[in-house]
Amino acid sequence: MIISIASGKGGTGKTTVATNLAVSLGSGVKILDCDVEEPNVHLFIQPVIEGVNTITTPVPEVDMEKCTLCGKCGEICQFKAIVVIGETVLPFHELCHSCGGCMEVCPEGAISEVGRELGVIEFGHRNGLQFVHGRLRVGEAMSPPLIRRVREYAQPGELAIIDAPPGTSCPVIASMKGADFVLLVTEPTPFGLHDLKLAVGAVKILGIPCGLVINRSDIGDDRVREYANSEGLPILMEIPFDRKIAESYSKGEMLVEKWPEWKEKFKDLFHRMEEIVADRKSGGS
């Protein structure tokens, strides 16, 4: 089972939920930090790092000895990532989506692949909990290919918890696609509600069952709950605002380790998600 933990906006407590859920479920679970622009799961999990892989994506390189300047590569590229200018062909690697189209259509076989570094994947463990995260290279704009490579660490039959990036754009979709359940972490404020609606819209398009965790649930108003009711979204957990929890978070401490009673609450949260997924697979609503 793959659970993707997402939020329409940053700062809602998504990583708190992902890390505490993973630690509560313990040995045999994998936590994948797909927030590759700003990974922070490791700050809480503090894993022993076992290995690092450099991740590259294929981009075109043109052999001008073979090129006849026919222009077919530029015509097929939807991203203006390869352009014929005067007597030369210029690839713009930062714009390239590695689709391979230009290499396919080149009649002279003048285009070959070279690797452009996207970032690294680091993996390790802590007390039987497996940890993986991606770190996007500084200055790199193309995060979805690196996120997809982090996602590959979730093997069939395993329980994997994914900490998705905030927002509702391509990196988030890459983190949610193929998950069995999306847990949306929100807060009961007008901003929270606005971004929650966008996130729910994206999850619905993907056709994945989802539920909510309301963080800082005793601030703000009831509009998030009213929206959840109107959309049939189950509220699976509420975490009240507590200065002690906030202080503990700022020190990188785990809620479930500092206050063990939370461990059972996170286990209950998991079982509720499991039930919804099982119900969906058996044809329920």
Long-range contacts of 84-92 (CB under 8 A, 24+ apart): 88/64, 89/62, 89/64, 91/59, 91/60, 91/61, 91/62
Using CA atoms in the order 5, 18, 36, 56, what is the torsion angle rounded to 10 degrees? Answer: -90
- 3 lines the binding site for ligand SF4 (CB under 6 A): no
Burial category of 104 from C-beta neighbours within 10 Å (exposed 0-12, middle 13-18, buried 19 and up): exposed
- 179 lines the binding site for ligand SF4 (CB under 6 A): no
Q: Which of residues 202-221 bind ligand SF4 (CB under 6 A)?
A: none
Structure tokens at 83: 């352009």
Binding to ligand SF4 by CB under 6 A, coded x per residue (else -) over 237-276, reads ----------------------------------------
- 67 lines the binding site for ligand SF4 (CB under 6 A): yes
Name the DSSP letter for residue 166. S
Total site size for ligand SF4, rule CB under 6 A: 28
- 62 lines the binding site for ligand SF4 (CB under 6 A): yes
Burial category of 175 from C-beta neighbours within 10 Å (exposed 0-12, middle 13-18, buried 19 and up): buried
- 98 lines the binding site for ligand SF4 (CB under 6 A): yes
Q: Which of residues 101-130 bind ligand SF4 (CB under 6 A)?
A: 101-102, 106, 108, 110-111
- 195 contact partners, CB below 8 Å, separation of at least 6: 7, 8, 9, 168, 186
CB of 73 to ligand SF4, least distance (A): 3
Measured from the CB atom, the residue of 72 and 197 that comes closer to ligand SF4 is 72
Q: Which of 46, 52, 79, 275 binds ligand SF4 (CB under 6 A)?
A: 79
Contact (CB, 8 A) for 187 and 216: yes
The footprint of ligand SF4 (CB under 6 A) covers 60, 62, 67-73, 76-77, 79, 81-82, 84, 89, 91, 96-102, 106, 108, 110-111
